[in-house]
Amino acid sequence: MSVLPAGAVWWLENDYSFGSNGLNRNSLTFFTIPARNLTAGLNAAFYKDSGVYDHKTFSFRVPMMYSGPRYSVSFKPFLYPVDGDTRSGAYGGKLFLLTSMSEEPDESYLRLSVSGAWARQKARVLAAGVLAPAKKSFTQSSAELQAEKSFYGQFYFLASAAAFSKPDGVSNATLVTPAMDQADLAYMGVFRQITALPDWIMTAQIARNMKPEYDSYIYAGYSKISYRRADKANSFTGGIKLNLNEKSNLDMAYNAYKEDSSSWKSYYKLLLQLFF
Q: Tens of pLDDT along 180-211?
A: 999 999 999 999 999 999 999 999 999 999 98
Q: How confident is the model at residue 4 (pLDDT cuts 50, 70, 90)?
A: low
User: What number of other Cβ atoms are within 10 A of residue 123's Cβ?
Assistant: 23
Task: Say yes or no to pLDDT of 21 above 60.
Answer: yes
- Higher pLDDT among residues 71 and 5, named by residue: 71
In this predicted structure, what is the pLDDT of residue 85?
A: 82
- If we measure between CA atoms, which residue out of 99, 91, 34 comes closest to residue 60? 91
Average pLDDT (241-266) is 96
Separation CA 40–CA 82 (nearest Å): 25
Separation CA 76–CA 115 (nearest Å): 11
- What residues form DSSP beta bridges with 59? 45
- If we measure between CA atoms, which residue out of 43, 57, 115 comes closest to residue 85? 57
- What residues form DSSP beta bridges with 194? none
In this predicted structure, what is the pLDDT of residue 128?
A: 83
Task: Say yes or no to pLDDT of 63 above 60.
Answer: yes
Task: Say yes or no to pLDDT of 8 above 80.
Answer: no
In this predicted structure, what is the pLDDT of residue 2?
A: 53
Question: The CATH number of 10-275 is which of 1.10.760.10, 3.10.310.10, 3.40.50.970, 2.40.160.60?
Answer: 2.40.160.60
- What residues form DSSP beta bridges with 245? 248
Average pLDDT (249-265) is 97
Task: Say yes or no to pLDDT of 275 above 70.
Answer: yes
Task: Say yes or no to pLDDT of 6 above 80.
Answer: no
> Contact 223/190 with Cβ under 8 angstroms?
yes
Computed on alpha carbons and rounded to an integer, the radius of gyration of the chain in Å comes to 19
- Whether the ω angle into residue 77 lies within 30 degrees of 0, i.e. cis, is no
Q: How confident is the model at residue 10 (pLDDT cuts 50, 70, 90)?
A: very high
> Contact 28/43 with Cβ under 8 angstroms?
yes
Average pLDDT (12-23) is 98
In this predicted structure, what is the pLDDT of residue 12?
A: 97
Q: How confident is the model at residue 7 (pLDDT cuts 50, 70, 90)?
A: low
- CA-CA-CA-CA torsion for 166, 168, 173, 178, nearest 10 degrees? -90
Average pLDDT (156-176) is 96
Average pLDDT (229-240) is 96
Q: What backbone torsions phi and psi does residue 22 show, to the nearest 5 degrees? A: 70, 25
Alpha carbon separation from 87 to 53, 72, 121, 123, 133 (Å, rounded):
11, 37, 11, 7, 12
Task: Say yes or no to pLDDT of 3 above 60.
Answer: no
Average pLDDT (78-99) is 94
Average pLDDT (244-262) is 95
Separation CA 115–CA 73 (nearest Å): 10
